[in-house]
Amino acid sequence: MNPVVGLDVAKGESEAQAFLDKDKPFGKSFKIKHITEDLDTFISFLKEIERKTGVRPAVILESTGHYHTPIIQCLEESQYLYILVNPIISHQAKKTSLRKVKTDAFDAYQLCILYYKEEFEPYKKRGLRLLNLRTLSRQYEAVTNLYIQAKLQFHTILDQVFPEYRGVFGDLFSRVSLQVLKEFPTSEDVLRIGEAKILERIVEMRIKRSAGWARERAAKLIDSAKRNPFQQGVYQSQLFSLDMYITMLLQYQEHLSSIEAEIDVLAEEIEECKIIQSIPGIGGKIAATIISEIGEIDRFNHPKKLVAYAGIDPSVHSSGKFTATINHITKRGSSRLRHALYMAVLCGIRSSRNKKLKEYYDRKRNEGKPSKVAMIACVNKLLHWIYAMLKRNEQFLDFA
């Protein structure tokens, strides 16, 4: 007997279908809410199948972001084997049916059918530190995207209130620049307060700058206020929006700084991060993203599997006598890992920090490869290096 339970996971609940063996469904499908009572009932159901078959059933389910987390935690606590399936694989399997059906019960049933068709490996639980690092890295990316959107909106409203303010500070989005603009949002405010008061306020912010720098900023602010085309008649709604976006930008900066500090502390404890950082051109945040997305290197028994996981393996198109000569990468793996690797290659090549990678890129270009093709070849090469370094537990200098 080879029992299995298929779970179609959704937000807050799942649909379960059991098989005692191939072509032997056990009862009808049923719903499980992701609450303690229903999860305990589900474990009892698994024990019932175990009593009937004499074998502990496996559980197969799709990877669904975070929706499957309660189920996974419950299975791990009860020490049940589970298999996480890539949604692409399960979706292709469902398309083999002649009938066009889309229900939770049917999806759970099809997962069981898929279990008997394929040879799946049990899910390898990832280490807690790497999971924490992955969560922080993804959160940093999410907050960064929000920060960028807020900056774009801020630019739009600044153009309608005080466009000349851009030349006052070297960094428009520095904390002192945003705080000064928050206190003096219009040219009318600046000219009314006067240069002496503005200078006093900048000094009070206790920034690590000289008094001369503060005087120069105050003078520039007065000049920009005189040049500003919007001397009067600024709408109250525009001032409200400007103040709101300044507050948001300052908060996002604080959040990003806190997350970055947490990432640095956690990365210091992870040896794999130090190994990847030994590659020229790879900094702390990129190294943290790469290792947190890869996870334990033991999950991959061949570098080609890691390449496929990153989605940089070439697609193949061949039919009859036709074989495509131009093939794009699959982009079916981790987009975050792919982006981090691309940025690592970009940093290594542009600054010529990574001489080996730069030589490889130049060789591909001399062979007539377009720039993007050469870049992807470098990403592939870099990933093979990372795989070998992690497997051997060697720094880049030792490996090279």
Which strands form 4-9's sheet, in the order they lie side by side? 24-33, 13-21, 4-9, 58-62, 82-85
So what's the pLDDT on residue 73? Answer: 87
Say if residues 17 and 109 touch (Cβ distance below 8 Å): yes
Specify the pLDDT at position 80: 87
User: 3-state SS string over 236-252?
Assistant: HHHHHHHHHHHHHHHHH
CB atoms within 10 A of CB 322: 8
pLDDT confidence of residue 119: 74
Q: Which of 24, 27, 48, 26 minimizes the C-alpha distance to 116?
A: 24
pLDDT score at 17: 92
The values of phi and psi at residue 13, to 5°, are -160, 165
Distance CA 198, CA 204 (A): 10
Domains of the chain: 4-123 (3.30.420.40), 132-265 (1.10.287), 271-392 (no CATH)
Q: What is the pLDDT of residue 146?
A: 96
- 206 burial via Cβ count (<10 Å: 0-12, 13-18, 19+): exposed
Q: Record the pTM.
A: 0.78
* pLDDT score of 205: 81
Give the pLDDT score at 101.
63
Work out the number of other CB atoms within 10 angstroms of the CB of residue 96: 10
Exposed, middle or buried by CB within 10 Å (0-12, 13-18, 19+), for 275?
A: buried
Q: Which residues of the chain have pLDDT under 50?
A: none
Q: At what angle do helices 211-227 and 195-204 cross, to 10 degrees?
A: 130
Q: What's the rounded Cα separation, in Å, for the pair 254 and 248? A: 10
Q: What is the pLDDT of residue 327?
A: 66
